[in-house]
């Protein structure tokens, strides 16, 4: 099954009040294994970057000034997403910004039926626990030492690892085994069966008259035999 794990960075918290999408990072997974295919892009939000948002992700207005508008990459992004389920952490937030940007391009919104929210999954598995990406990475032993600031592609990479753990961990061997083409499966060598042997006739086991006579002679030579007492 193909899935896309993604994350976004924005100028703020509410697209309805004028906040814009400034970065998106998407990772393709098939059977919950990353394929290496990614989509990553920064966008010029056509507005200033609030200081509090820049403190979170480090993306300044100067850095974003020469980046493309969302509209110029929208078709490419939609092609990459395809019709796959879309996995995000607190997915309602990311879907809200993504669909707001699509609306500004007069493009149809992405159906929320495709939304897979890892916060909701984690809440069911760990009620009462901290559900931030940092906290859950710590819980599952996912290395995030290189995460100094938020970044859409970096966070998507961490989320892809977390998603696998939340869904039961990596049992890749079992999944891949089911996918190996028959032509690539090494079959066992046929068992070699020995031809059946013929039935041997019973050997004679009674002593001959000569053997009995020799035995009697031998016994007579034994002195102090216990059977003579």
What radius of gyration, in Å, describes the C-alpha atoms of the chain?
Answer: 38
Q: Annotated active-site positions, please?
A: 150
Residue 96: CB partners within 8 Å, gap ≥ 6?
15
Q: Given the structure tokens 């006579």, which residue do they identify?
A: 213
Contact 133, 162 (CB under 8 A): yes
State how far the alpha carbon of 8 is from the alpha carbons of 12, 125, 159, 189, in Å.
11, 25, 12, 53
**Angle between helical axes of 70-81 and 91-104 (0-180°, round to 10):** 120
Token pair for 145: 């030492």
End-to-end CA distance of the chain: 92
């Amino acid at each position: 099954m193909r899935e896309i794990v993604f994350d976004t960075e924005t100028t703020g918290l509410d697209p309805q009040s004028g906040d814009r999408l400034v970065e998106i990072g998407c990772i393709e997974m098939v059977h919950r294994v990353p394929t290496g295919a990614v989509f990553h892009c920064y966008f010029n939000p056509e507005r200033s970057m609030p200081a509090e948002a820049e403190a979170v992700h480090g993306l300044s207005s100067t850095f974003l000034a020469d980046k493309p508008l969302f509209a110029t990459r929208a078709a490419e992004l939609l092609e990459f997403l395809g019709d796959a389920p879309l996995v995000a952490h607190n997915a309602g937030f990311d879907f809200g910004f993504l669909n707001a940007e699509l609306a500004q391009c007069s493009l149809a919104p992405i159906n929320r039926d495709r939304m897979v929210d890892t916060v909701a999954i984690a809440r069911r598995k760990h009620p009462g626990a901290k559900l931030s990406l940092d906290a859950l990475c710590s819980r599952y032993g996912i290395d995030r030492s290189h995460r100094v600031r938020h970044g859409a592609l970096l966070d998507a990479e961490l989320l892809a690892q977390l998603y696998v753990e939340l869904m039961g961990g990596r049992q890749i061997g079992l999944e891949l085994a089911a996918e190996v083409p028959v032509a690539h499966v090494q079959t066992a060598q046929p068992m070699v069966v020995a031809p059946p042997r013929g039935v041997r006739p019973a050997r004679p086991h009674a002593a001959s008259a000569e053997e009995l006579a020799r035995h009697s002679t031998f016994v007579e030579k034994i002195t102090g035999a216990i059977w003579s007492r």
